[in-house]
Structure 1
């Protein structure tokens, strides 16, 4: 339900530029709960990590992931995960640099005629 995803258990952080008029956030981090598909433990899942294009490659994404890791550790989680499109090479590069590894593969099949 909406209440489940918009609760203190699934926090959202917005990133704004300090000392500049706020027109819109430049980044966002949304965390939530997932179940480890192998061990069955609760883990933190990054639902959304976004940095606007003009602010990428400035360390904001890395800082947001570090914040997510600290939040997960404070909860006692032993793992953090996320999903990323295989075509999103910049994100893949960031996640690999930060120590994430591929563990599963989502497969799809088009049913369009």
Structure 2
């Protein structure tokens, strides 16, 4: 594929075994950055269960790299808008390796996801972001994303 962001190119994934492993690696990196020292065995089940032709995957590589070595990834899926019942695109994963952040790659991936969603007739796109992930929150807000609802949790493990 041709250059997409200066110095980078975007390629559509096929969902093969090597890509599943790469996606799982990117997911582990994301969670390890947010929850240092944590273990995330359930991520493999999520990838195995949900990666399909209906949940496309894209990879970003340096333009001058001949060998397949992605530095960012985007995984999309579908959700149902709780208010309208309409199908909407959902960003399942957006990960950019630390050395490639703040170079426009993440913003370009979000815009690409929006274009993909529009092309299939979706009227909105959603995502889930951890409140502690301040760089991601800043990116999404700068791109016009607003909080529509809050995912709230309470530990009941030791509650009386």
Q: Same fold (TM over 0.5)?
A: yes
Structure 2 unmatched runs, 5+? 1-45
Alignment RMSD, CA only? Answer: 1.9
Structure 1 gap segments, 5+ residues each: none
Shift of 1:75: 0.3
Counterpart selection for 2:102 from 57, 61, 68: 57
In 2, the alpha carbon distance for the partners of 1:4 and 1:54 equals 30
Per-residue deviation, residues 57-87 of structure 1 (Å, max 9, x unmatched) = 0000011001100000000000000000011
How many residues were matched structurally?
A: 113
Question: Quick one: distance in 2 between partners of 1:75 and 1:4?
Answer: 23
TM-score for both structures, normalised by structure 2: 0.66
Distance (whole Å) between structure 2 residues aligned to residue 104 and residue 90 of structure 1: 20
Give distance in 2, aligned partners of 1:73 and 1:38. Answer: 19
Structure with the higher helix share, 1 or 2: 2
Deviations 1:5-47 (A, max 9, x none): 2222110111111113547311000000100010000000000
List structure 1 runs of 4+ shifted beyond 4 angstroms. 1-4
